[in-house]
Structure formats: C-alpha cells, structure tokens
Structure 1
Amino acid sequence: MSDKEPLNKLVHDARAPLNRISMNAELIKLVLENDMPKDKAIAALDKIISNCQQCSDSLQKISDTQ
C-alpha cells in the first residue's frame, strides 16, 4: 500500500458528492427549461445542500490528516 492511497480515498470521497451536486443542478436546469413540477427542483436542491455538507465533511477529514 502506497503512502498516497489513504489520501486518494479521501479525495475520492470528496469528489463523489461533487458529482451528485452537478447531476442535481442539471436536473434543476431541465425542470426549469421544461416547465416541470416545482417539487422536483426543490427535491434536487435538498440533495445539493446535503451533498455540499457531505463534501465539506470530507474536505475536513482531508485537512485533519495533514
């Protein structure tokens, strides 16, 4: 096991919520462009908020390892 593996896992864990944030932002864009129900946009925004917090927590773990 290399010295970088633990850091790589932490970075991967931080990247995952960023991908979910991007996906949900795209969903909101589609909802707004296609005049779809507002509740779909609200649900996507809730997911974005949750994933931002998860990303922040992951970044704190990275910071704590240094």
Structure 2
Amino acid sequence: MSNHSKKPLNELVHDARAPLNRISMNAELIKLVLENDMPKEKALDALNKIIANCQQCSESLQTITDSQ
C-alpha cells in the first residue's frame, strides 16, 4: 500500500490542486507580459488553453471531493 492511498481523499485533492493553481497563476503572468510587450497570438492562445485546462482539472477534483 502506497503512502498516497493512506491519505484522506480531501488531502489528495488539495495536494493535486496546489500545483495546478501555481501553473495557472504563472500562465496568467506570462499572458500579461506578452500582452503588454508585443502581441503573440499563438502563444496567447496556448496560454489560454493552459489556464482553461488547469481550471477544468480543479473543478473535476472538486467534483470528486463533493461526491465522497
């Protein structure tokens, strides 16, 4: 049995959400830098996808928590 399976589900979700939040915040920061410097549409589109997918993962993890 691994250490992960011994943790409560809420703690596992919290542990997974923390890096997603950091990824999202850093992607938003990069987006602001690019917007204020020089428009780079492909990079901005990719960053928007990163942000949206991070938020979707967080919502999915919350759904898992709520169902327990």
Normalising by structure 2, we get a TM-score of 0.77
Per the alignment, residue 56 of structure 2 pairs with 53
Mapped partners of 1:14, 1:62: distance in 2: 12
Uncovered stretches (5+) of structure 2, i.e. residues with no partner: none
Mapped partners of 1:59, 1:20: distance in 2: 17
Mapped partners of 1:54, 1:32: distance in 2: 25
Q: What is the root-mean-square deviation of aligned Cα atoms in Å? A: 1.8
Shift in Å, 1:18? 1.6
Per the alignment, residue 33 of structure 2 pairs with 30
Shift in Å, 1:14? 2.1
Q: Which amino acid aligns with 1:56?
A: E
Uncovered stretches (5+) of structure 1, i.e. residues with no partner: none
Normalising by structure 1, we get a TM-score of 0.79
1:14 and 2:43 correspond: no
Seq. identity, %: 6
Shift in Å, 1:20? 1.2
Mapped partners of 1:29, 1:23: distance in 2: 10
Q: Structure 1 residue runs of 4+, over 2 Å off? A: none
How many aligned residue pairs are there? 63
